A and B are shown apart, each in its own frame.
Chain A
C-alpha cells in the first residue's frame, strides 16, 4: 500500500467485462466517491442543512464565523493528528501539549522579562521537542504509541501544573498582556480579519493553510507516499527503502508544530493560561480525524477529511446552542450528532466501494 490515494481495487464488475478491471478507467464521479473524506462531506452537508432548518441564526454570517472559529481550534490540531494517524500512530499527549507550549512561552518570557517572541520561539522548540521525544521513544522501544503518548500525556499534565506553580507562584500563568512583543504576537496568532463587515478569527485561515499544505504533502510529494507506506505496513515500507524512523518522528513533530500554533493562539487570545486545561481535547482531535475518514489502523485517510471532521464537530457543538435546545441534553445531542455523521460517512463509503 505504497500510495493509497485511491481506494483499494474495487470488486470486479458483474457484467464480466473482458478487460482487466485494474486497468479500467473510473469515472470522475466514482473517483470522487472513492476519496476518504467524501462520507464526512455528505455528513457535514446533512448537518448543515439540518441546523439551517432548525435555527434561524445559524445561517447568519456572524454565526457562521463563530462556527468556523470553533471548528478551527479543533481543526488545526486535527491536521497533524490526521497525518499521524495515516502514518499509523496516535498521540494522546496532543491536548495537553498545546497547553505546555503556551505555558512555556508565557512563563519563560514572564520570568526573565524578555520580549514575548523569545518565549514564542522557545515554545516552538519545546513543542517540536515533545514530538521528537514521543517519536524517538516509540521507535527505540517499539511500544505501541498508545502507551508511549499516554505516558507523555501524564508527564506533561504533571509538568504543566508543577512548573507553573514553581515558576509563577499560581496555577494559572501570569498575564503577559503588557509585555513587549505581545501586540505583534497577538496580531499573528489571535487577531480577527474583517471581511465584508464580518469578523473572522485568523485561526480559520491558519487552519485552511495548514490543511492545504498537509494535502499537498500527502498527495504530491515523496514524503506523502512515505506516510501512507509506514501507516500501511511499516516493515514492508522499510523493505522498499522508506525511511520509517524519520517519517514517524517527523509526524510526531508535525503534531507538535500544530500544537504550538494552537498553544500560541490560546496564550495570546486570553493573555493567561490555566495549567489544568487541555486534558481530554486529544480525543476531540482523534474523533475529528476518524469522522473525516482516517482509519484507526493507519494507511488510509486525508488531511481534508480531518478538517471536515473538525467542521462537523464545530457545527454540532455550536449548532445545538443556536437551536436553543434544552442545555441539559447538550452532551447527548452532541454524541448523537457525531454518531449519525459517522454512520452517514460509513454508508456513503460502502456504497462507493460497491460501485
Chain B
C-alpha cells in the first residue's frame, strides 16, 4: 500500500480553499454601522426603578427576542433597570417570579401562559405591593391574578382573522402546522382558523429541528394533494414551509402568523400570501412603560380591559414598509 500522509492531506484540504477564494464577500454580511439605530432620546429623569420581565419563552426564540427588544427600549427611555428572565416550564417560571419578589423589584411584567401555576406566587407579589402587568398570554385571567392591565393579542381572534381572510380568498383546505404539540396559544390559533374554514387540518412538527419540519410538511403535502394553503405559526417555520411546498410539487400557497425580516421579504416577493402580526415589540415596550407610568403618577392604562396589540395583517400592500423595521429586528 502506498504511504499516504494524512497530515499533508489535511493541510492541503484546509489551505487550498482559503487560497482559491478571495476572502471577502462582495454582497451580504454585516451592514456598516448606521449610527443611532433607535431607542435614542434622553432617559427620563425619574429615579431608577427595577422591573422584572418574566416570560414562558424558550431560550433562543425569535418572537421573544422582539418582545425583549421592546422592553429594553422602554427601559432605556424610562430609566428602568430591566431584568429579563425566562423559563418555558411553568413551575420554574413561578420560581423566577418569587426570586423577583425576593429582590424587591418595583414592578413585574409576566406572561400568563400557565395561570394556575402562577396564581399563588402572583398573590404574594400583590400582597408585597408590587404592581403587576401581564403580557402576551392570559388576557382572561389577568385581572383575577392581580395584574392591573394586559398587553397582548388574542390568539383565537388572530386565528379567526387568518381564517376570515383565507375564506374570503376562496381557500377551503388549509393545513395548520403546529411546532409544539399541546401549546395552548398555538392550538388556539389553529382553532380560530378552523372556525372560519371548517376544512382545516392540523399537522404537528418538531420545531427544534428545521430539517424535520421541512420533511414532515413535505410528507403531508404529498399525502393530501387537495391542500390549498399551508399555515405556519411562526416566521422561521413558515419560511421552511415554502421549501416544503416546492419539494412536494404542491400548488398550495403559504400563509403565516408572526413576522421576521425574511418572512417580510417573502411577502414582498409574493412567496407568502400574508401574515398576522401581534406586534410583540409593543407588548414588551408597553409592559415596561406601563409599570413606569404606575410609578410616575399611579396611572393605569386600559380601564381594566386588556390592551390589544394585534392582530394586524401584513400582506403585499404594506409588507415593504414593514420590512424596513423587520430588518432592525423590531417587527
A binding-site residues for B, Cβ under 8 Å: 55, 57, 60, 62-63, 66-67, 69-70, 73, 109-118, 121, 157, 160-161, 164-165, 169-172, 174-182, 199, 265-266, 269-281, 314, 317-318, 321-322, 324, 327, 330-331
Contacts and interface: CB of A to CB of B under 8 A. Distances in A.
Given A62-B222, A172-B62, A179-B29, 5 more contacts: A66-B215, A110-B29, A174-B30, A181-B21, A330-B181
A118 B215 contact: no
A266 B243 CA distance: 13
A327 B203 contact: yes
B5 interface: no
A285 B223 CA distance: 27
A321 B203 contact: yes
Given A169-B329, A278-B209, A321-B203, A178 B28 contact: yes
Nearest to B214: A269
A53 B220 CA distance: 17
A110 B209 contact: no
A280 B212 contact: no
B21 A171 contact: no
A279 B17 CA distance: 32
B210 A113 contact: no
Contacts of B65: 165, 170-172
A113 B30 contact: yes
Interface string B192-210: 0000000000111000111
B25 A180 contact: yes
Given A111-B30, A277-B208, A318-B219, A175 B25 contact: no
B325 to A, nearest CB: 13
Interface stretch (B53-61, B104-112, B130-138, B144-152): B53-61
B16 to A, nearest CB: 10
22 contacts: A66-B247, A66-B248, A110-B28, A111-B30, A121-B17, A160-B60, A161-B60, A165-B65, A171-B61, A171-B65, A180-B24, A180-B25, A181-B21, A182-B28, A270-B236, A276-B60, A277-B208, A279-B208, A317-B212, A321-B216, A321-B220, A327-B204
B62 A274 contact: yes
Contact of B262 (A164, A271, A324): A271
Interface string B4-26: 00000000001001100111111
A189 B181 CA distance: 30
Residue from A67, A170, A271, A314 with most neighbouring chain B CB atoms (10 Å) = A170
B224 interface: yes
Contact of A179 (B25, B61, B203, B249): B25
A161 B14 CA distance: 28
Nearest to A272: B262
Contacts of A273: 210
B276 interface: no
Given A121-B17, A317-B216, A321-B223, A114 B23 contact: yes
B153 interface: no
Contacts of A327: 202-204
Contact of B209 (A66, A117, A160, A281): A281
B209 A277 contact: yes
Nearest to B58: A276
Contacts of A174: 30
A57 B222 contact: yes
B223 A118 contact: no
A338 to B, nearest CB: 15
A211 B221 CA distance: 30
Contacts of A66: 215, 218-219, 222, 247-248
A177 B262 CA distance: 11
B62 A171 contact: yes
B28 A331 contact: no
B14 to A, nearest CB: 6
B219 A278 contact: no
Contacts of B233: none
Interface in B18-47: 18, 21-30
B79 interface: no
A70 B28 contact: no
Given A110-B29, A114-B23, A160-B60, A277 B210 contact: yes
Contacts of B219: 63, 66-67, 70, 318, 321-322
Contacts of B262: 175, 271-272
Given A318-B216, A327-B202, A115 B24 contact: yes
Contacts of B224: 324
A124 B181 CA distance: 34
A109 B25 contact: yes
B279 interface: no
A114 B236 contact: no
Contacts of A169: 329
A110 B25 CA distance: 9
Contact of B215 (A69, A113, A161, A277): A69
Contacts of B18: 117-118, 121
A55 B223 contact: yes
B261 interface: yes
Contacts of B215: 66, 69-70, 73, 314, 318
Contacts of A274: 60-62, 210, 236
Residue from B23, B61, B202, B223 with most neighbouring chain A CB atoms (10 Å) = B223
Contacts of B204: 327, 330-331
B287 interface: no
B61 A110 contact: no
Contacts of A114: 23-25, 29
A272 B218 contact: no
A109 B62 contact: no
A228 B239 CA distance: 44
A327 B175 CA distance: 12
Contact of B208 (A63, A281, A331): A281
